[in-house]
Amino acid sequence: MTGRIRTAVLVSGRGSNMMSLIEASRRPGYPADIVLVASNRPDAGGLQHARAEGIEAIAIDHRAHPDRESFERALDEALNARGIELVCLAGFMRVLTSWFVTRWAGRLLNIHPSLLPLFRGIHTHRQALEAGVLLHGCTVHFVIPELDAGPIIAQACVPVISDDTEESLAARVLAREHRLYPTALALVASGRARLVEDRVKFESGWSCEGEIASPPFDSWSETPSTSG
């Protein structure tokens, strides 16, 4: 494999998905290199965790900018200045404008704690409990201007158990997020999943089938052990 893809992770909070991406990026053959963590909140715990891992971590405080566009221009400049090729939103709780999303089209990923297109927005675990679904989960998708609506790269599901609370269900989903996001990033960084018009095009045998068939590979540089 030639050069690893220079990747930034954007966080607003504790950054547990960010940590799972950093850990994955250190495995042999992993195709993405996490070289920057950025947050719109200077107090985000994720920034401290990233620095402790020796990764550059910067705050671009949205409150210091007069409007969304000025904040996003500062973010875009910071990414470009470091030669970033892919951006992963990981608990980044700022809605991005179509200006930014279009600039990064096909290079901007997000993880959302539901099986999209179900339960967009916030309080997804509450929404799932209220709807009475028996399966819930998480989705990694390319970001498009419409919120939580972009083409799906990978999904994983978990059971909903009868005495689940929002907290117990969130914890079960989060554990799956930590496995799913590194898998999805590897698919994109290796070129095995690409955004083509408004669909994700997978290289033959490399689509991620989620929890039902757990991610089809452990070693990113080898051929898949199951075919799609």
Contact positions vs ligand GAR (CB under 6 A): 11, 13-17, 90-91, 111-113, 174, 177
Sign of CA dihedral 175, 176, 179, 184: negative
| Phi/psi-derived region of residue 171, left when phi > 0, alpha when psi is between -120 and 50, beta in every other case | alpha
Contact criterion met (CB below 8 Å) for 228 and 202: yes
Phi and psi at 144, nearest 5°, equal -125, 170
| Residue whose CB is less far from ligand GAR, 13 or 145 | 13
Q: How far is the CB of 225 from ligand GAR (least distance, A)?
A: 27
Q: How far is the CB of 90 from ligand GAR (least distance, A)?
A: 5
| Residue whose CB is less far from ligand GAR, 170 or 206 | 170
Contact criterion met (CB below 8 Å) for 39 and 47: yes
| Residue whose CB is less far from ligand GAR, 107 or 112 | 112
Q: How far is the CB of 95 from ligand GAR (least distance, A)?
A: 9
Query: What SS3 class is residue 103?
Result: helix
> Residue with CB nearest ligand GAR?
91
| Residue whose CB is less far from ligand GAR, 169 or 193 | 169
List Cβ neighbours of 164 (8 Å cut-off, separation of 6 or more). 129, 172
| Residue whose CB is less far from ligand GAR, 14 or 203 | 14
Amino acid identity of residue 40, one-letter, is N
CA distance 172 to 185: 21
Nearest to 153 by CA among 114, 212, 118, 199: 199
DSSP state of 207: -
Q: How far is the CB of 125 from ligand GAR (least distance, A)?
A: 9
Q: How far is the CB of 193 from ligand GAR (least distance, A)?
A: 19
For the annotated catalytic residues, the residue numbers are 112
DSSP state of 119: S
